C-alpha cells in the first residue's frame, strides 16, 4: 500500500513537471507556437494533479487492523448515521464483534452528519439466508454504535444477537 512518504515523493516529481510545463507554456506564448493553448490545458492539469498528490501526502491512508476481524462489504450507507455491512454466514460471534469494530473504525469520518437526537453511527451486520432456490432472507446478526464526534470513542456499544446465530446453516464438509 502506498504511504504518505510515497505520495510526497510523487508530489515533488509532479511539481517539477508542472514547472517544466509552465516554462514551456510561457515560451510558447512568447514564440507564438500553435500548441500554446494546449500547453495551458496541460499545465492546468498538472497543477490539479500536483495538488491532489500533495493532499494525499498529508492524510494517512492506513486503516486500523482488528485481530480476528473477517471480511465484510458495505451494503448500505446513508452518509450520516446508518450503515449496513454484509458478512459471511460462517462467522462466529467473536469474529462478528471484531468485524463490527473494524467496520466502525473504517467507516468513521469527520464528514458524517449527525443530529441533535442521533449523534451515533449505527452499523448493522447482516448475512443472507437462502431457504429455497430464488429466495433470499436477510438475517441481522449484530450491530455497533459509535460516536460521530470523536475518533477515539471509549463508549462503543456492540450488540450481538445470539438467537440469530442459531438460524445460520451448519457448514457441511
What digits encode the pLDDT tens for the residues 81-133? 899 999 998 889 999 999 999 998 888 877 777 666 778 889 999 999 888 89
0.75 surpassed by pTM: no
The pLDDT of residue 173: 58
49-91 pLDDT, tens per residue? 999 999 988 876 667 788 999 999 999 998 888 999 999 988 8
The answer to whether 91 and 127 are in contact (CB under 8 A) is: yes
The answer to whether 21 and 46 are in contact (CB under 8 A) is: yes
126-157 pLDDT, tens per residue? 999 888 899 999 999 999 999 887 777 778 89
Strand 120-129's sheet: what is its strand order? 73-77, 82-86, 120-129, 137-147, 157-160
Amino acid at each position: 500500500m502506498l504511504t504518505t512518504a510515497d505520495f510526497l515523493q510523487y508530489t515533488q516529481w509532479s511539481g517539477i513537471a508542472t514547472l517544466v510545463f509552465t516554462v514551456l507554456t510561457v515560451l510558447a506564448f512568447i514564440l507564438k507556437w500553435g500548441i500554446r493553448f494546449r500547453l495551458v490545458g496541460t499545465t492546468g492539469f498538472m497543477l490539479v494533479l500536483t495538488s491532489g498528490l500533495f493532499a494525499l501526502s498529508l492524510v494517512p491512508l492506513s486503516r486500523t487492523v482488528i485481530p480476528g476481524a473477517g471480511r465484510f462489504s458495505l451494503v448500505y450507507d446513508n452518509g450520516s448515521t446508518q450503515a449496513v455491512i454484509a458478512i459471511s454466514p460462517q462467522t462466529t460471534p467473536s469474529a462478528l464483534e471484531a468485524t463490527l469494530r473494524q467496520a466502525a473504525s473504517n467507516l468513521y469520518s469527520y464528514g458524517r452528519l449527525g443530529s441533535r437526537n442521533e449523534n451515533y453511527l449505527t452499523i448493522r451486520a447482516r448475512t443472507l439466508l437462502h431457504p429455497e432456490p430464488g429466495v433470499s432472507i436477510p438475517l441481522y446478526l449484530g450491530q455497533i454504535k459509535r460516536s460521530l464526534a470523536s475518533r477515539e470513542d471509549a463508549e462503543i456499544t456492540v450488540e450481538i444477537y445470539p438467537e440469530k446465530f442459531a438460524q445460520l446453516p451448519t457448514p457441511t464438509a
